[in-house]
Amino acid sequence: MHLLLADAVQPIDPVWFGIPWAIVLTCVMILLGAYTRFGTDELVPIRKDQRDSTVDGFARLTGLIAYTLACVCLLLILYNLLGNLQGADDPTNGWSFAFSLPWIGYGIVSLVAMATRQLVPDGYPEWLSVLKDLSYGVLDVWSKAFFGCWIGAKALGLTDPMSAL
């Protein structure tokens, strides 16, 4: 996405950092999210007789901090990518918003899963598993498959016909 904006009719520079730091921040974001998912099992409370233990409290606190930091990383990445797009007269910019902002959906799905696990701490609700499959599937199809098709069409000169007028 950084590369496409730099290659637009009106090239857009990222706000703060370039591709290498964006990749680093993305990896950090995913690792922090992975800690919350696997290290704390989506912040689910442990057995009833141990819920007030120090270990449980520490795990859930660090998991919550990790998730918050992951959200901060995502916001930094998005603002760095899209912060300079205002006022640019290029259809590519609209598509950039359309393909970038849905990334927030991944965080929302994680948040829904964590909230549900607080309410249903025993076991894993199957409907939640189905919901995650569907929502992550839709997000993946949009942000990878459709994005890829758009990139391919753009490379063939099949998109943004108005810009050629």
Partner 1 sequence: MDEQQSLQGNVLFHPSFVTPHDFPAFLRAVVCRVVSGSMLMSGIFTALCALTTTQFDISRASCAISTSVNLVAFYHYAKLIAIREQTGSRVRLSKPGAVPMGQATELKIGWLDMAADAVRYSDWLVSPAPEQQRPRVSDSL
**Candidate list 91, 102, 105, 125; residue touching partner 1; CB under 8 A:** 125
Q: CB within 8 A of 30, min separation 6: which ones?
A: 70
Residue 4 lies near partner 1 (rule: CB under 8 A)? yes
**Candidate list 119, 155, 162, 164; residue touching partner 1; CB under 8 A:** 155
Instruction: Please report, as residue ranges, which positions from 14 to 33 form the binding site for partner 1 (by CB under 8 A).
Output: 19-20, 22-23, 26-27, 30-31, 33
Residues that bind partner 1 (CB under 8 A): 2-4, 6-7, 11, 19-20, 22-23, 26-27, 30-31, 33-34, 37-38, 41, 122-127, 129-130, 132-134, 136-137, 140-141, 144-149, 151-157
